[in-house]
Amino acid sequence: MGNRGSLIILSGPSGVGKGTVRQRLMEHRDTNLFYSVSMTTRSPRPGEENGREYYFVTPEQFQENIDKGNFLEYAQYVAHSYGTPKDKVEEKLNQGINVLLEIDVKGAMTVLRKCPDAISIFLVPPSFEDLEKRIRGRSTETEEVIAKRLEKARSELALKDHYRHIVVNDDVDRAASEIAAIIKAA
């Protein structure tokens, strides 16, 4: 049997730049990385495509997947559900391919309990002010949702010490290269 791939967890507060850094990271072909597309009950943002950023489903469909035991983990995040479909993750790891999960801190703690060997990475902003600027600059959420996400960000940032690696997203290229190096060293 060949080597199993590594499971990589990428977390960080909303708006820190996870999606942006992940896209750049996926351009590093030498990381042999598969991005695990999550399921969510939230609506697509402009430019997001079903099956690419997320599988967008109804709350009923999400519940059905919970009932069938289809998730490696799932969590509620500011009024919506998000979950990692487990079959694909297993399949890729068995093929020796590294798998990237971009999930919140609650989900990350669940995965770390189930898979203690997972490599956990927490992306932080250079400062809280930068985070606020980025989340507002994206202009995809209402003021009410932005306020909730910023409040959540403070509690998420407090959990960063549970992660093996902390990467500062000061510059997208630099942060993506640092993460690529962590994955290649694994």
Query: How far is 20 from 137, CA to CA, in rounded Å?
Result: 13
CB 43 within 8 A of CB 54: no
Task: Select from ligand ADP, ligand 5GP, none the partner in contact with residue 82, using the beta carbon and a kind-dependent cut-off of 5 to 8 Å.
Answer: ligand 5GP
Least distance from ligand 5GP to the Cβ atom of residue 60, Å: 18
Tokens 């479909």 belong to 85
CB nearer ligand 5GP, residue 18 or residue 92: 18
Interface residues with ligand 5GP (CB under 6 A) are 14, 18, 38, 42, 73-75, 77, 82-84, 102-104, 106-107
Task: Select from ligand ADP, ligand 5GP, none the partner in contact with residue 178, using the beta carbon and a kind-dependent cut-off of 5 to 8 Å.
Answer: none
Alpha-carbon distances of 48 from 34, 54, 78, 140, 184, rounded to whole Å: 18, 8, 19, 11, 29
CB nearer ligand ADP, residue 5 or residue 12: 12
Q: Packing angle between helix 172-185 and helix 18-26, nearest 10 degrees?
A: 60
Alpha-carbon distances of 185 from 26, 30, 57, 178, rounded to whole Å: 16, 12, 36, 11
Show Cβ contacts of residue 116 under 8 Å, excluding neighbours closer than 6 positions.
none
CB 58 within 8 A of CB 132: no
Instruction: Give the x-and-dash track for 11-50 against ligand ADP (CB under 6 A).
Output: -x-xxxxxxx------------------------------
Task: Select from ligand ADP, ligand 5GP, none the partner in contact with residue 5, using the beta carbon and a kind-dependent cut-off of 5 to 8 Å.
Answer: none
Q: Does 152 bind ligand ADP (CB under 6 A)?
A: no
Task: Select from ligand ADP, ligand 5GP, none the partner in contact with residue 4, using the beta carbon and a kind-dependent cut-off of 5 to 8 Å.
Answer: none
Q: Which residues bind ligand ADP (CB under 6 A)?
A: 12, 14-20, 134, 137-138, 169, 171-172
